[in-house]
Amino acid sequence: FFKQKTAYEIGVRLVGSEMCIRDSPLNHVAIIMDGNGRWGLLHKNSRNERHKAGLNTVEKIIKESIKQKIDYLTLYAFSTENWKRPKKEINYLFSLLENFLLNKTENLNKQNIKLKIIGKKNFSKKLNNLLNSVEKKTSKNSKLQINLAINYGSKFELINAFKKLHKSKDQINEVNLEKHLQTKNIPNPDLLIRTGNTKRLSNFLLWQLAYTEIYFEKKLWPDFNERDYNKIIKKFTLVKRNFGKI
């Protein structure tokens, strides 16, 4: 059997007659994890069960990202618009997050994974403290950085960044604006995957995705697996990214 190549190793490849050599062809993957609700309806499960199934997929994709030597993985878990959902569902979702963090922090450290939260932390005191604690405990880890987007909205992020930039009296340009984004010091995503057969960005990283390759996956998030992930990674490596150049 042939050994499967990682995203890093696939960086040296042929495109037509031209050899493209890249030190890190796939550094940052962002994912909009869509389709939990529809998966629950199809499987006649409760709305709560769907989130458990989605969490299992998260763990699989984290493991595969490490295997593929990807440095950054950004997961869109809860948007500023998601507060419109039923209160019971929101409470369950955050209790699931609390349990995950309480039970998995030690495992994150063992795997050398850093966790960073992007979004406004205005949750319960308990959850805010827990998020801050896990960020601190994993801050020195370096194998994979997971950016968990919760209570995140890109429009809100941009408005606040412009306000801070204006207040700073610095010149208004891209470099200075990016200093005030929640993704400061994080490279922009190379690849965005959205599951659930929906083709929109849903107020996610609107600034950061300007030159990102975007793949819309038909499968619902709980059904998405490592094989699907690797297929998209392979497709990504066949794209020659010019960033506006010829």
- List the catalytic residues: 34, 82
- In angstroms, the CA 152 to CA 149 distance is 6
**In this structure, are residues 39 and 110 in contact, taking their beta carbons and an 8 Å threshold?**
no
Q: What is the DSSP string of 74-130?
A: EEEEEEGGGGGS-HHHHHHHHHHHHHHHHHHHHHHHHTTEEEEEES---S-HHHHHH
- The Cα 232–Cα 236 span in angstroms is 6
Rg of the chain in Å (alpha carbons): 19
